[in-house]
Amino acid sequence: MSGETRVLLATIDEPDLHTIEVYERLGGYGDRLRKALLQMSPEEVLKELENSGLRGRGGAGFDMGKKASFIPKGDMDKYLCCNADESEPGAFKDRLLMQKNPHLLIEGCIIGAIAAGANKGFIFIRGEYAHQADILDAAVAEAYDKGYLGERILDSAHSFDLVVHRGQGAYICGEEIALLDALEGKRGNPRLKPPFPANQGLYQGPTLINNVETLCCAPLIIEKGGEWFASMGVDKSTGTKIVSVSGNVERPGNYEVELGISCRDLIYGLAGGPPDGRDVKCFFPGGSSAPVLTKEHLDLPYTFEAMSEAGSMLGSGSVIVVDDSVSIVSLALRLAEFYRHESCGKCVPCREGTNWTVKMLERMDAGEATPMDIEVMSQVQTNIIGNCLCVLGDSMAMPVGSMIEHFRDEFEEHIEQARVRRGLEETAAYPSEAPLGAELAAAGESGPA
Amino acid sequence: MADAERMESAGDEAALRATPLPPGWDEAARLEEDPAVVPDPASVEVPADLRAEIEAHMAKYPDRHSAVLPALGAAQERHGWCSPEAIVQVAAVMQVTPAYLSSVATFYDMLRTEPVGDRYVYVCTSVACHTRNAKAVYDAICEEAREQGLEGVELREFECLGACDMAPMASVDGRYVGPLDVSDAQELVAAVKEDRHVLPGRGLEDSDYRLPWDRPDRPVHRPQGPPETPEGDAA
Ligand SMILES: Cc1cc2nc3c(=O)[nH]c(=O)nc-3n(C[C@H](O)[C@H](O)[C@H](O)COP(=O)(O)O)c2cc1C
Ligand code: SF4
Ligand code: FES
């Protein structure tokens, strides 16, 4: 279990896989979709998904079959939403799937819709993915032409319409409630849950929301069985996972692996590790929202369980590697700036906390902070966690908190060096107006501390 | 403190702010206007193709409001930004208030609420790109844009564009190019300015695109599952 295991990406290098002809030739739609539509009951489809142990690939890692089973039965409009917002720094796996294999996602949406009893579906794709959205649009049109979408698919009792909906640039729209609001034409503001989307989602109807990769697993599970899927991976982390590896490694890219591979195999074996002469300083195991882990954690198995036991999370499965050339304060600052920019502004701890964190880190960098500020910043993070409507605030507070925890010495050193630098600069900038600097120099000291 | 005095010191404070106020915050509200008016369709002239596009979007959804984002996108494409004129046109077709549309437009990064250019170059400087020198690439592009006098293009730092494998990277009117180096700045800006194809062969959507370090023949395992898989060939 040390190399790549390709299930979702088995055919990804086939030329023109994005066309329906090639996709069908390689086994797409066809028999397995007929099986789901005509031979299996919706309950059996749901059961198969539950048996696979497939956990959501969008961040929270919730059991997909279980979530689908929460959708109430009965005759009403129900919806399926595919979350293709993929905007968390470090994540780029859904992009690959949609660009190269759009029909796998469409087929996954159909199967998800059967399990949820949905008759209308939306793929919410981030607006920046213009090329991928064009490809999806074309693929959806092809699927309609061939009768895989629309009324009574393949003469079964199931009807399903699918619309590709483009966002306009807002990370928060990846959060499920915000996504539904954006889809309803509003600003993307999360709300308190419950009600959960499974009961009251899009247009107040029951709604199943799943990530692109989650839905892409569904056709394979129907074809080869839930047990087959569960036979890959370990414990409650079943199946394979496309891991986006980025940052300071020789070969950034998407690698599909069986869950349970060691972080070292992933970072060094597959992605080539940091450049020569550099060492891993820390890594985000689950995108920028995951608390950082350090070198000591490299031998942990890459699973939902092991990452959370180590105090972090597997999240969307994006590993950002940071080597020892990167200053931790600059990293924390860039991270905090992201969350400040993306905070929807609805809750005070998140809106103000992200802003204050940026300001404090800027102060540290500018030489205006004292080691006391680390304490204050740490407290700000603690006060954000658990006090917001959605987890965006926590998504900054936890990684920043983890950086302070693992690299406190470097923070202190950075603050001290910046203070010295600032002192020297001021002395140099105003030689005649800087009596203190001049006095110190006269006294043989190196400059104001 | 007298009201006038208080206002004045508030004004000073605004002048001292490190970050400028968002647009509109320091403008007086136009109290004589009713913000809730849905424009009379007969009184607003809307280009026929824009109207058709918006109506096609509305038809796709059970609730017409869902078409707000695509409609604003379409209007922006035509007007270059979500100008008051663009907003009123969308409002007239969709039968919603302009204020509602403005509130939505200000929320989203890709919708421009100021005329900053009708093309764009978004340079990602977010977390993963940050570790690969993205800020230097962005600065070099800005410097070149100044030197070459690039105009009519919205050039800005952007948050993660979902292409950290090609870091550092940029999106030029939606076409992703990367990995970039400081030395690419000159050609990138020149190509945008002269409306040429930007960095041919280095765009994610180019047919022969590969990451420089990618090995097409890298060893992978393709497990077979019951029943036999049609694609399980090279295992
Ligand atoms: C701030 C925020 C951003 C999110 N962004 C995404 C995203 O871009 N894509 C995604 O699939 N899930 C995202 N999620 C997770 C979703 O809310 C949701 O849990 C997920 O789409 C469910 O799908 P899954 O069960 O298949 O993982 C985000 C959550 C939060 C709080
Ligand atoms: S935590 Fe932040 S992003 Fe989430 S609802 Fe509150 S303010 Fe908005
Ligand atoms: S951080 Fe730049 S593309 Fe993701």
Q: Which of A20-24, A159-163, A247-251, B2-6 has the lowest mean pLDDT?
A: B2-6
Indicate which atom in ligand 2 lies nearest the CA of residue A391: 1
Distance CA A115, CA A73 (A): 11
Predicted confidence (pLDDT) at residue B20 exceeds the cutoff of 80: no
DSSP conformational letter for B229: -
Predicted confidence (pLDDT) at residue B16 exceeds the cutoff of 80: no
| pLDDT at residue B13, as a whole number | 55
DSSP conformational letter for B131: T
Query: Residues 141 to 200 of B: which have CB under 8 A from any A CB?
Result: 159-167, 171, 174-176
Predicted confidence (pLDDT) at residue B48 exceeds the cutoff of 50: yes
CA angle in degrees (0–180, nearest 5) for A156-A162-A166 = 170
Distance CA A360, CA B70 (A): 38
Confidence bin at A224 (pLDDT 50/70/90): very high
| pLDDT at residue B26, as a whole number | 76
Predicted confidence (pLDDT) at residue B7 exceeds the cutoff of 70: no
CA angle in degrees (0–180, nearest 5) for B124-B126-B128 = 105
| pLDDT at residue B23, as a whole number | 66
CA atoms lying within 13 Å on the CB side of residue A366: 7
CB of A210 sitting under 6 A from ligand 1: yes
Q: Provide the 3-class DSSP secondary structure of residue B194.
A: coil
List of chain B residues whose C-beta atoms are within 8 Å of the C-beta of residue A220 = 225
Q: What is the pLDDT of residues A154-168, one digit of tens each?
A: 999 999 999 999 999
Contact A185/B103, CB-based, under 8 Å?
no
| pLDDT at residue B232, as a whole number | 41
Q: What is the pTM of this model?
A: 0.92
- The pLDDT mean for chain B works out to 88
* Residue for token pair 């103000």: A352
Predicted confidence (pLDDT) at residue A436 exceeds the cutoff of 80: no
Predicted confidence (pLDDT) at residue A218 exceeds the cutoff of 50: yes
List of chain B residues whose C-beta atoms are within 8 Å of the C-beta of residue A170 = 107-109
* Residue for token pair 């304060």: A329
Find the B24 Cα to ligand 1 centroid distance in Å. 33
Predicted confidence (pLDDT) at residue A440 exceeds the cutoff of 60: no
Cα B137 to chain centroid, rounded: 19
Cα A52 to chain centroid, rounded: 22
DSSP conformational letter for B136: H
Predicted confidence (pLDDT) at residue B9 exceeds the cutoff of 50: no
| pLDDT at residue A434, as a whole number | 47
Any CB–CB contact under 8 A between A279 and chain B? no
Contact A90/B127, CB-based, under 8 Å?
yes
| Candidate from A85, A181, A346 with most ligand 2 atoms within 8 A of CB, to mutate | A346
Q: Distance between terminal CA atoms of chain A? A: 54
Predicted confidence (pLDDT) at residue A44 exceeds the cutoff of 80: yes
Helix (H) or strand (E) holding B155, with range, is strand B153-158
DSSP conformational letter for B109: T
| pLDDT at residue B2, as a whole number | 45
Task: Evaluate whether A334 touches B126 at the Cβ level (below 8 Å).
Answer: yes
Confidence bin at B223 (pLDDT 50/70/90): confident
**Percentage of chain A modeled with pLDDT above 70:** 95
Q: What is the pLDDT of residues B159-214, one digit of tens each?
A: 999 999 999 999 999 999 999 999 999 999 999 999 999 999 999 999 889 999 98
| pLDDT at residue B34, as a whole number | 74
Contact A247/B65, CB-based, under 8 Å?
no
Any CB–CB contact under 8 A between A226 and chain B? no
A340 → chain B, closest CA residue: B159
Any CB–CB contact under 8 A between B108 and chain A? yes
Contact A89/B126, CB-based, under 8 Å?
yes
- Stretch A4-23: mean pLDDT: 96
CB of A346 sitting under 6 A from ligand 2: yes
Find the B186 Cα to ligand 1 centroid distance in Å. 38
Indicate which atom in ligand 1 lies nearest the CA of residue A57: 27
Best B81, B165, B215 member to test A by mutation, with max A CBs in 10 Å, is B165
Residue A432 tokens, joined: 């005649």
Residues 6+ apart with CB under 8 A from A182: A124, A167, A170, A173, A188, B69
**Spatial CA neighbour of A210 closest among A108, A360, A95:** A108
Query: Residues 7 to 36 of A: which have CB under 8 A from any B CB?
Result: 7, 9-11, 13, 26-27
| pLDDT at residue A425, as a whole number | 79
Residue B190 tokens, joined: 């020149």
Predicted confidence (pLDDT) at residue A446 exceeds the cutoff of 80: no
Residue A50 tokens, joined: 């539950």
Residue B141 tokens, joined: 């592009």
Strand partners, A232: none
What Cα–Cα distance (Å) separates residue B55 from each residue in A152, B43, B49, B91?
26, 18, 10, 12
Indicate which atom in ligand 2 lies nearest the CA of residue A350: 2
Distance CA A29, CA A218 (A): 12
Residues 6+ apart with CB under 8 A from A86: A92, A93, A94, A95, A126, A129, A174, A212, A316, B162
DSSP conformational letter for B164: G
**Percentage of chain B modeled with pLDDT above 70:** 85
Helix (H) or strand (E) holding B171, with range, is strand B170-172
Confidence bin at A1 (pLDDT 50/70/90): low
Find the A211 Cα to ligand 1 centroid distance in Å. 7
Confidence bin at B230 (pLDDT 50/70/90): very low
| pLDDT at residue B231, as a whole number | 45
| pLDDT at residue B136, as a whole number | 97
Contact B128/A224, CB-based, under 8 Å?
no
Predicted confidence (pLDDT) at residue A295 exceeds the cutoff of 70: yes
Predicted confidence (pLDDT) at residue A447 exceeds the cutoff of 50: no
DSSP conformational letter for B205: T
Contact B214/A251, CB-based, under 8 Å?
yes
Alpha-carbon Rg for chain B, nearest whole angstrom, is 24
Residue type, A116: A
Predicted confidence (pLDDT) at residue A448 exceeds the cutoff of 60: no
Contact B174/A131, CB-based, under 8 Å?
yes
**Percentage of chain A modeled with pLDDT above 90:** 92
Q: What is the pLDDT of residues A349-366, one digit of tens each?
A: 999 999 999 999 999 999
Residues 6+ apart with CB under 8 A from B48: none
Best B121, B131, B176 member to test A by mutation, with max A CBs in 10 Å, is B131
Distance CA B33, CA B38 (A): 12
Whether ipTM > 0.90 holds is yes
Distance CA A222, CA A207 (A): 21
List of chain B residues whose C-beta atoms are within 8 Å of the C-beta of residue A131 = 174-176, 204-205
Q: Distance between terminal CA atoms of chain B? A: 80
Distance CA A403, CA A294 (A): 10
List of chain A residues whose C-beta atoms are within 8 Å of the C-beta of residue B91 = none
Predicted confidence (pLDDT) at residue A391 exceeds the cutoff of 70: yes
- The pLDDT mean for chain A works out to 94
Q: What is the pLDDT of residues A397-429, one digit of tens each?
A: 999 999 999 999 999 999 999 999 998 877 777
Distance CA A98, CA A242 (A): 13
- Stretch B109-126: mean pLDDT: 94
Query: Residues 167 to 186 of A: which have CB under 8 A from any B CB?
Result: 167-171, 182-186
Query: Residues 285 to 314 of A: which have CB under 8 A from any B CB?
Result: 288
Predicted confidence (pLDDT) at residue B233 exceeds the cutoff of 50: no
Contact A87/B159, CB-based, under 8 Å?
yes
List of chain A residues whose C-beta atoms are within 8 Å of the C-beta of residue B67 = 185
Task: Evaluate whether A27 touches A14 at the Cβ level (below 8 Å).
Answer: no
Q: Please write down the HEC assignment for all residues of chain A.
A: CCCEECCCCCCCCCCCCCCHHHHHHCCCCHHHHHHHHHHCCHHHHHHHHHHHCCECCCCCCCEHHHHHHCCCCCCCCCEEEEEECCCCCCCCHHHHHHHHCHHHHHHHHHHHHHHHCCCEEEEEECCCCHHHHHHHHHHHHHHHHCCCCECCHHHCCCCEEEEEEECCCCHHHHCHHHHHHHHCCCCCCCCCCCCCCCCCCHHHCCEEEEEHHHHHHHHHHHHHCHHHHHCCEECCEECEEEEEEEECCCCCEEEEEECCCEHHHHHHHHCCCCCCCCCEEEEEECECCCCCEEHHHCCCECCHHHHHHCCCCCCCCEEEEEECCCCHHHHHHHHHHHHHHHCCCCCHHHHHHHHHHHHHHHHHHHCCCCCHHHHHHHHHHHHHCCCCCCCHHHHHHHHHHHHHHHHHHHHHHHHHHHHHHHHHHHHHHCCCCCHHHHHHHHCCCCCCC
Contact A252/B165, CB-based, under 8 Å?
yes
CB of A188 sitting under 6 A from ligand 3: no
